[in-house]
Amino acid sequence: MTQVAVITGASSGLGKEAAKALAGQGWHVIAVGRDAARTASAGAEIKAAAAQSGRVDILRADLSLLGDAERLAREIAGLTDRIDVLANNAGGMASGLVVTAEGNEANFTGNHLGPFLLTEKLLPLLRKAAADAPKGSVRIINTSSDASEMIPSINLDDMQNLDNFSVGVAYCGSKLANVLHARALGWRLADAGIVAHSFHPGTVASNFFADVSPETKAYTDTLDKMSEAEGADTLIWLATSPEGGASSGTYWYKREPRVPNPLFDDAEYIERFWKASEAQVVGVKV
């Protein structure tokens, strides 16, 4: 049976590299991008890299819009009845406060709330795959950042940081949310045999830095950067290797467990975080 991977943020960077790699291994890859031109260009590359037995579908969605996340889930369900790997890879760092038409802060929503909702909507397809697959072979992978380690906590009473907005806090909070989301999924999905992970890809020379603030760009321009293929290595490894299915909820860097934010082991806080995230996506209207 052909394995199915959904990869968001596949129009460039790590997501595109991971999509090309899995398509080249004969997977059915559902690649999701936001920008029309980049998504079309990446789609052509991914299809060109696909093995003869592979299949590639290209979809567009902006995960900072919860309605788009819900629509995307329906479109994916129209293409497959199972998902073996969900890579919540889409994300970015804004240069300032943007409030969407739905009234949400775009950066935190695009990095966490949209992927959180998409994951919930796709769980039936992940469970379907897990029902007849070896334990640990169905996986959810969140692309996070070492920015998750640079913030003490998320204000669960104002997750979107709207009362005291800061670009840095919005980004660091969303990346911590990626780690906590995967940690919680590891606990919640253990009985189903589904594993979840988050990882820090490192500083990658990619489109990620295109929209950051001038101050952030000035700093990141001083950093050594790895290639997109190098940054995608841990994502691909977590998706396909036996090691990726041997544990769950883990935070990784360069194929090795990495020390996470101390909240990683605070089960009570993570439960409150989960409920706060749910409250943010209740009643989504399309």
With bands split at pLDDT 50, 70 and 90, how would you rate the model's confidence at 79? very high
Q: Is 171 a catalytic residue?
A: yes
CA-to-CA dists, residue 179 to 49, 83, 111, 117, angstroms: 31, 21, 11, 15
With bands split at pLDDT 50, 70 and 90, how would you rate the model's confidence at 46? very high
According to DSSP, the β-strands at 138-143 and 85-88 are parallel
Domain 4-281 falls under CATH 3.40.50.720: yes
Burial of 211 (0-12, 13-18, 19+ CB in 10 A): middle
Q: Which member of 171, 219, 251, 269 is catalytic?
A: 171
Q: Where are the domains of the chain?
A: 4-281
| pLDDT score recorded for residue 228 | 86
Q: Tell me the per-residue pLDDT of 121-136, one tens digit each, with 9 for 90 and over.
A: 999 999 999 999 999 9
Smallest CA-to-CA distance from 111 within 217, 222, 198, 2 is with 198
Q: What percent of the chain has a predicted confidence (pLDDT) above 70?
A: 91
Q: Tell me the per-residue pLDDT of 85-105, one tens digit each, with 9 for 90 and over.
A: 999 999 988 889 999 999 999
Question: What's the whole-number mean pLDDT along residues 146-156?
Answer: 96
Q: Tell me the per-residue pLDDT of 183-242, one tens digit each, with 9 for 90 and over.
A: 999 999 999 999 999 999 986 555 555 565 565 555 555 556 678 899 999 999 999 999
Q: Tell me the per-residue pLDDT of 166-181, one tens digit each, with 9 for 90 and over.
A: 999 999 999 999 999 9
What is the rounded CA–CA span in Å between residue 279 and residue 151? 22
Model pTM greater than 0.85?
yes
